[in-house]
Structure formats: C-alpha cells, structure tokens
Amino acid sequence: MKRTYELVVITRPSLETGEQEALIEKIRDYILSTNGKIIAEEDWGLRKFSYPIKKFDTGHYRLFVFDGKETSPKKIEASLRLNENILRHLIVHREKSYSPSPMAPKLEELDEEAEN
C-alpha cells in the first residue's frame, strides 16, 4: 500500500554548494531505492536555530514529499542516521494532498537572490 510522506532534512551549513548538491542527490537515491516516488522538493534555505544543534547555530533545510511503502520511512531513516552531514531529519505521514509550504521562499525572493 502506497502512502504519502514528508521528509524534512537539516544539513550542516558549512557544506560547499557541490557537497550540498551531492548530499541532496544521495537523499533522493535513498527515497528511490525504497521504490518511492518523489512528488515535490522544496529548498527552505539557511535558517537560524532556536538552540545549537551539534554546535551549529544554523542549518540548511530541505523538504521532500514522496510516495512510498509503509516500510519506506524506516529504511530511509536508517540511511539518514549514518550520514554525519545531516544534523536532523523527520519523516511524517501526510494525510492531505500536497501544496507548497509557507516556509518555502517565494519565486520572487529566489529571483532577487539570483540577481544579487
């Protein structure tokens, strides 16, 4: 039985752009390796924490919405726990249909950042 899940990942802020992209690709591979299908992906950018996590004050947030089997979250979490560049992660079952998150930067903001 397929279910829809959300995965939020917080990665180290000190990663270079190439390292960040390689890590995101690895997370996509984790999802796809469990016969999951990625529905959406949002880059929430660098955010400040309320309290330090593993001695970091900020982290790079990324959201994945995917369909998968009921056993998919456990397999994905096992892989995520082993990666030292991932500070935190959370997978939850999604009951409603997907719509873009209010945390995601607006398209206008992304265009402004690209111009600067």
Length of the chain: 116
Read off the pTM.
0.79
CATH code of the domain covering residue 55: 3.30.70.60
Number of domains in the chain: 1
Structure tokens at 97: 């249909």
What is the rounded distance in angstroms from the CA atom of residue 61 to the CA atom of residue 8?
7
pLDDT in tens, the chain (116 residues): 688 999 999 999 999 989 999 999 999 999 999 988 998 999 999 999 999 999 999 999 999 999 989 888 999 999 999 999 999 999 998 876 666 666 665 545 544 554 54
Give residue 96's domain range.
3-115
CB neighbour class for 105 (10 Å; exposed up to 12, middle 13-18, buried from 19): middle
